[in-house]
Amino acid sequence: MHTPFLGYAKRSFMYIKKKLNRSGTTSVVVAEKQKGRYFEHITIGISSDPFTINKFVEEGKQWILNENKKRQPEIDLFGEEMAKLQKEREAIHQFLSCIDNIMLNGTDLILDKVFDCIGFNKIEDDIFRHLVKSRLSYPASKSATVEYLKNHFDEDVNLSKIYRYLDKLSDHHHELVQTISVKHTMEVLGGKIGILFYDVTTLHFEADKEDELRKTGFSKNGRHSSPQIVLGLLVSLNGYPLAYCIHEGNKYEGHTMLPIIEEFVQKYQLDNFVVVADAGLMNNTNIEELEYLGYQYIIGAKIKNETSNIKRFILSQSKVDRQMFEIDKGNGRRLLVGYTDERAKKDAYNRNKGLRRLEKSFHRGTLTKEHINRRGYNKFLNVSKDVTISIDYDKVNQDAAWDGLKGYLTNTNIPTEQVYEAYHNLWNVELAFRIAKSKIEIRPMFHFTRKRIEAHVCICFVALKVYKELDRRLKQAGIKLSINKVLNMAATVTTIQVRLPLNKQVISKTMLMKRHQVIAPLFNENFWGTH
């Protein structure tokens, strides 16, 4: 005969078991069923007297109660414990009713810190700050940005207010953001900017008509029929942005470099620096102007445009991977020429690709006289006296002789290896343009007036600086995540604001979950003070 007595342990219960013995006595035992198995805990007593047996049963029940208390504290559903539970529920409900706001603002908090650490908080304008951060967290049109700010941060910003702000964004802002950026970059680089990298890109507009700024011209994106602007960017070693300039879309890119460098050097009183630029930005006049101003330079050399003697000398040299040789051009100029197997393979691949395209057009009969003056591999075309267009394979073979060769012109006395390294750091400018176009989405631009275009570019320049600084800090902290992953993860971080019912004080708490552990240092004030 069993007398069940349920306990509180999960998947188990204890009960009183009366066992009849051969002697005629009864054993009172505490037994338990757990996960389908039965076993005995303790024998309370043995007796043949009914009164004594009932006494053992009661003692067994008490034993079970004591054991259950050890395993799991008993909850008195009808006494003091119930009152505690009710009080706890009321406290939670009161807390929830006091929640004033819940914000998914982790990304915003991180970008605010970077923005301030660089020094852009000297520009005391909330709209400017919002627009910069939005380029990094939610790059979109200004109207979409307004909705984003309202929905995520409850910011009282309307579209008209933003447009009015863009219209009044003065040249002072342009100068101030560059000054702040330069000062911060110099601190990062140990107080000196030794190398200036310069390059340009083109930004086209989805528009049909030109104006004083937006002009058709040579497009780096192949959009030659679309109005565009030319954007020049000056960066330091490691790609930290220093200054920028905007020019008409039809302006020759070689005429954009000297004005910005000269203004930059004079403004910040730089000395003992080297200008690094691509061959496409330079001609003999530009080189002579650099030398007249006393600037040191490393530029890509157009070795195919050198004198016949120099070209013969270059082609006569044996092609050994990663080997460089030097030619003294007089007047302090050094022409360095290097060869790599990797570049040779790339040159051959690109030429053959272009040649195949020409051959297809030739066989289709679509090659015309117009192709002769075009850029690229149309240079291999030839026109006969009877205006017949053909492919000149002698030109193809002559071009192949230059595969793998790259020239560098400099007036410095720095070692050859350092010249090579400095020039190939130009990829930092290219990377900055890629970031501006892909991450910050500097285009498409939904602006048509010069003032708003200039304001938009200024905002994107600051966003680029914030991006690069965040990247630097992540690397220093050993956080091995891309900026995109960091910002996406931060976008799930929640801040809860609670308004106390009596004194109306608002208490904020940023909630970091287990999944945020890797980026948790970014929400610690000490992190921003030690980098």
- Euclidean distance between CA atoms 345 and 387, whole angstroms: 34
Name the β-bridge partners of 473: none
CB count within 10 Å of CB 420 equals 17
CB count within 10 Å of CB 375 equals 7
> How many domains does one find in the chain?
2
Predicted pLDDT of residue 34: 77
DSSP state of 481: S
The token duo for 200 is: 């340009």
Q: Domain boundary residue among 71, 99, 125?
A: 71
Q: Which long-range contacts (CB under 8 A, 24 or more apart) does 475-479 make?
A: 476/531, 477/521, 477/527, 477/531, 479/518, 479/519, 479/521, 479/522
Predicted pLDDT of residue 152: 64
- Answer whether residue 47 is part of any domain: yes
- Answer whether residue 60 is part of any domain: yes
CB count within 10 Å of CB 9 equals 14
* Domain assignment of residue 371, given as a range: 344-400
- Answer whether residue 366 is part of any domain: yes
Buried b (16+ CB within 10 A) or exposed e, 508-517: eeeebeeebe
- Answer whether residue 29 is part of any domain: yes
- Answer whether residue 418 is part of any domain: no
Show pLDDT as tens, one digit a residue, over the chain (531 residues): 555 554 444 456 788 999 888 888 999 999 888 777 888 888 989 898 888 889 999 998 999 888 887 776 655 555 677 788 888 888 888 888 899 888 888 999 999 999 999 999 998 888 899 889 989 988 887 777 777 777 766 566 777 878 888 888 766 788 899 999 999 999 999 988 999 999 999 998 887 788 888 888 887 776 777 899 999 999 999 999 999 999 998 988 888 899 999 999 999 988 889 999 998 888 888 899 999 999 999 999 999 999 999 999 999 999 999 999 999 999 999 999 999 999 999 999 999 888 888 778 777 776 665 655 555 666 777 666 555 677 788 888 999 999 999 999 999 999 999 999 999 999 999 999 999 988 898 988 888 888 889 999 999 999 999 999 999 999 999 999 999 999 999 999 999 999 988 888 999 999 999 999 999 999 998 899 855
- Answer whether residue 145 is part of any domain: no
User: 149 with 157: CB under 8 angstroms?
Assistant: yes
Q: Domain boundary residue among 71, 90, 113?
A: 71
- Euclidean distance between CA atoms 354 and 349, whole angstroms: 9
Residue with tokens 């092609």: 319
**How far is CA 18 from each of CA 1, 48, 58, 237, 269, rounded to the nearest angstrom?**
5, 11, 12, 88, 101
Predicted pLDDT of residue 9: 42
User: 78 with 144: CB under 8 angstroms?
Assistant: no
- Answer whether residue 81 is part of any domain: no
- Answer whether residue 328 is part of any domain: no
Instruction: Residue count of the chain, please give it.
Output: 531
Backbone Cα Rg of the chain? 38
Q: Would you give the end-to-end CA distance of the chain in angstroms?
A: 76
Name the β-bridge partners of 247: 230
What's the pTM value of the predicted model, to 2 decimals? 0.77
- In degrees and rounded to multiples of 5, residue 433 shows phi and psi of -65, -40
- Euclidean distance between CA atoms 465 and 487, whole angstroms: 16
Q: Domain boundary residue among 13, 43, 71?
A: 71
